[in-house]
């Protein structure tokens, strides 16, 4: 228990004081559950609704309820109209404020959500979106190699193959596990490179 107390005394700096009591209890449970090779305690403490190990179904709340269904589905705006660097960069790009304002200067200006964007734009503030499809920092995923067509030596994939049917989603959620096995599976099927340096450097 000496070690546990040490653990707790140092834990204070990491966890807010209100959680101290809970921490004390859960750490105790955690330590014993780890020793007992049981996952139940972990699940009890860290379980959150909708959570899964591979993040499929991850559906965070965004600063405004932007609907891909309306934009990409109903209005049929192509994905790359807003995510414009998907074809030329590693990153597909999140549309900048002026991309939104291009239409919403005129369209639906009375909506409170649009007003929020307009206010941010006028104050020269960016929107802070929550990243839904988030790869670990040690993975180098090049959007352009997957989106570019065969004539450019790319895979010519549709966005939906990895991101799911975004045009049908009011709130975007993660559609695929994005884990290494999932990547490798596709790379094997399509005879894409499999050596480590393709993604890890």
Partner 1 sequence: MTTENSIDTTEPNRQTPITAIPGFTMTDRGPEIFGPVDGPLETPVKVIEKGHLYMSAEEVMPNIDSDHSRRDSASDFTVSAGAEALAKTAVDRRDFLRLFSAAAVASSAAACVRRPLEKAIPYVNQPVDQAVGVATHYASTCGECASGCGITVKTSSGLPIKIEGNAEHPLSQGSTCAVGQASLQGLFHPDRRTAPGFRNGDTISTYAWDDVYEVLGKQITGKKVAIFTNGSTGSRNDFFTDVLTKLGGSTSDLYTYESNSLYSSVSEAHKIVFGVECLPRPDMRVAQVIVGLGTDFLDVGTSPVFYAKNFANFHTMNSGNFGKFIQFESMMTQTGAKADERYVVPPSSEIVVALLLMKSLVEKNAGGHATAQAAKIVAANASIITGGYDLVGVTKEVFDHTAEQLLKSPSMVLAGNTGFDENATMLQVAAVLINDMIGAYGKTLYIDRGWMRSPVRSDDLPRFMTKAASYDVVFFIDTNPVFSLPASLGFVDLVKKIPLVVSMQSMPAEIDDLAHVILPINHSLESWGDEHPVAGFWSARQPVVRPVKDSRQAEDIFLWLLAIQKKSLPYADYHAYLLDKWKALMVLVDAKGVDYETFVKAVLRRGFAGKLETRPAPSMKEVSASFKVGESATRKGLRLIAPLDPRLGDGRGADKPILQEIGDGMTTIAWDSWVGLNPNTAAKMGFKRNDLLLVETAAGSLKVALYPSPGLHPDAVVINRGNGHAITSGVAQGGVGVNPLVLCGTSLDAEIKTPITAGFEVKLSRTGEIYHLAAMQKSHDIGNRTSIVKKYSLEEVKNLKRNRSLDDVPDLYPKLAADEVSQYKWGMSVDLTKCSGCGACMAACAVENNIPQAGREQILLGREMHWVRLDRYFAGDLDNPQVTFQPMMCQQCNHAPCEAVCPVIATSHDPEGLNAMTYNRCIGTRYCANACPYKVRRFNWWTHKWGVMGDRQQDRMPRALNPEVTVRTRGVMEKCTFCVQRIRQAKYTAKEQGRLVRDGDVMTACAQVCPSDAITFGNLKDPGSRVARERADARSYLALGGDPDKNEFGLKTLPNVSYMGIIAHREPLGTGEEGEGQHHPAEGGHPAAGEAAPAAHGG
List interacting residues with partner 1 (CB under 8 A). 3, 6-7, 10-11, 14-15, 27, 30, 34, 42-43, 45-46, 48, 51, 55, 58, 60, 84-85, 88-91, 93-99, 120-121, 124-131, 134, 136-138, 140, 142, 144-145, 148, 151-154, 195-198, 200-201
Residue pair 92/166 in contact by the 8 Å Cβ criterion: no
The pair of three-digit structure tokens given for residue 189, joined into one six-digit string: 């099927």
Q: By C-beta, is 137 or 189 nearer to partner 1?
A: 137
Q: How far is the CB of 64 from partner 1 (least distance, A)?
A: 13
Q: By C-beta, is 111 or 125 nearer to partner 1?
A: 125
Q: By C-beta, is 57 or 185 nearer to partner 1?
A: 57
Q: How far is the CB of 29 from partner 1 (least distance, A)?
A: 11
Helix (H, G, I), strand (E, B) or coil at 175: coil
Q: By C-beta, is 93 or 164 nearer to partner 1?
A: 93
Q: By C-beta, is 46 or 168 nearer to partner 1?
A: 46
User: Which DSSP symbol is given to 39?
Assistant: S
Q: How far is the CB of 172 from partner 1 (least distance, A)?
A: 12
Q: How far is the CB of 148 from partner 1 (least distance, A)?
A: 7
Residue pair 8/27 in contact by the 8 Å Cβ criterion: yes
Q: How far is the CB of 152 from partner 1 (least distance, A)?
A: 5
Cα–Cα distance for residue pair 58/172, rounded to 1 Å = 8
Q: How far is the CB of 36 from partner 1 (least distance, A)?
A: 14
Q: By C-beta, is 89 or 111 nearer to partner 1?
A: 89
One-letter-per-residue 3-state SS of 63-122: CCCCCHHHHHHHCCCCHHHHCCCCCCCCCCCCCCHHHHHHHHCCCCCCCHHHHHHHHHHH
Angle at 38 between CA 18 and CA 11, to 5 degrees: 25
Cα–Cα distance for residue pair 184/190, rounded to 1 Å = 10
């Amino acid at each position: 228990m000496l070690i546990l107390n040490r653990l707790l005394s140092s834990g204070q700096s990491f966890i807010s004081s209100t959680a101290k009591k809970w921490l004390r209890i859960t750490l105790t449970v955690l330590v014993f559950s780890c020793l007992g090779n049981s996952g139940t305690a972990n699940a009890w403490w860290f379980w959150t609704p909708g959570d899964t190990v591979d993040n499929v179904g991850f559906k965070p709340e965004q600063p405004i309820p932007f609907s891909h269904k309306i934009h990409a589905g109903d209005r049929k705006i192509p994905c790359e109209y807003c995510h414009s660097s998907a074809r030329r960069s590693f990153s597909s790009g999140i549309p900048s404020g002026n991309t939104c304002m291009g239409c919403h200067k005129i369209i639906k200006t009375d909506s409170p959500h649009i007003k929020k964007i307009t206010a941010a734009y006028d104050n020269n503030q960016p929107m802070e979106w929550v990243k839904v499809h988030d790869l670990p920092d040690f993975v180098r995923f090049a959007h352009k190699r997957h989106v570019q067509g065969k004539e450019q030596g790319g895979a010519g994939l549709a966005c939906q193959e990895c991101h799911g049917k975004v045009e049908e989603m009011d709130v975007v959620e993660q559609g695929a596990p994005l884990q290494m096995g999932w990547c490798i599976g596709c790379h094997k099927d399509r005879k894409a490179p499999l050596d480590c340096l393709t993604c890890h450097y």
